[in-house]
Amino acid sequence: MQLGTVALTGAAGNIGAVVRRALRGEAEHVVLLDRVPLRPEADNEEAHTVDLRDAAAVESALAGADQVLHLGGIPDEAPLPDLLDVNVLGTHHVLEAARRTGIRRVVLAGSNRVTGFHPAGRLTGPQDPVRPDGLYGVSKAAIEALGQLYADKFGLSVICLRIGSFEPAPTEHRHLSTWLSPRDCVGFVRAALTAPESVRFATAYAVSANTRRFWELPDPAVLAYTPVDDAESHAATVPDADRPTDPTAPQAGPYAAPEFTLRHLKP
């Protein structure tokens, strides 16, 4: 599958900005969506200021796209009503717009946080049960379920990328297992956008080739990308890099602590 017109939600975010630069050199046309106003930076870009909660505005901006990369949403722990409103309902609007306008491929930004309570000593894959580490993880599990529904019921081709710790370089101990480099992020996105149309639905961890990683790399038959970066090459600059990981501790690390979620719940 070649890149024709690609729509990118959340284009102003950290991942969106990196992917945007790559896509405008590979796609015929790039449609940028964000609630933050953006300006086109290339002849093949167009920008729309869109709130994902506005179904009509989402459909209007996505009309004519061949593929959608859906990165928009609340990126971390928050009150559940907000996460449901923006992440879950916003994703529903993207999928519904894809169904109504005939978009053939939707790539959803999932998160490793849907399985954060699996132990660090277990290599976890998409076939394992979800074990969200917080309310944000719950919202991302719901997004995956929506993607599966639209693939099964309406025939969309949907790929969910469970994104690791996206950083220029690892800066903390957990990143030695969870880091996703910008280069590998672009590689995973490209592979998901161009995967064969026979891939009706798939979930894959987008993580660099870290020696200490917790997660399985994707099946090449589903997602034809092999990551090239390893957080271990940065270990000398990471505090406590020599400290062994407790194999019984949650993969989520501090995100699994009750305090991380309690501050978003009513007293």
Phi, psi (5° rounding) for residue 128? -80, 150
Query: For 257, how many CA atoms within 13 A lie in the half-sphere containing its CB?
Result: 6
Angle, helices 135-154/89-101, rounded to nearest 10 degrees = 20
Which tokens in the block code for residue 262?
A: 């309690």
The Cα–Cα gap between 112 and 230 comes to 17
Asked if 225 is an active-site residue, the reply is: no
The Cα–Cα gap between 115 and 148 comes to 17
Name the nearest CA neighbour of 212 among 235, 191, 195, 240. Answer: 235
The Cα–Cα gap between 61 and 131 comes to 34
Given 136, 150, 205, 255, the catalytic residue: 136
Question: What's the distance, CA 214 to chain centroid?
Answer: 17
Which tokens in the block code for residue 75?
A: 């990126």
The Cα–Cα gap between 93 and 69 comes to 13
Which tokens in the block code for residue 189?
A: 């996105």
Q: Which residue numbers are catalytic?
A: 136
